[in-house]
Amino acid sequence: MEFRWPVRVYYEDTDAGGIVYYANYLKFFERARTEWLRQLGFNQELLRQQGVLFVVREVNARYLQPARLDDELEVSVTVEKMGKASFNMAQTVYRVSSEGEQPLVSGSVSIACIDSSGKPRAIPADIRSAL
Domain borders along the chain are: 3-130
Q: Could you tell me which residues come within 8 angstroms of residue 32 by beta carbon, excluding any fewer than 6 positions away? A: 3, 4, 5, 7, 75, 76, 77, 91
- The catalytic site residues sit at 15
Domain spanning 3-130, CATH class: alpha beta
pLDDT reported for residue 88 = 97
Tens digit of each residue's pLDDT, the chain (131 residues): 899 999 999 999 999 999 999 999 999 999 999 999 999 999 989 999 999 999 999 999 999 999 999 999 999 999 999 999 999 999 999 999 898 999 999 999 999 999 999 999 999 999 998 88
pLDDT reported for residue 1 = 85
Strand runs labelled E in 25-128: 53-63, 72-82, 86-97, 100-114
d(CA 53, CA 7): 25
Report how far Cα 52 is from the mean position of its chain's Cα atoms: 18
pLDDT reported for residue 131 = 85
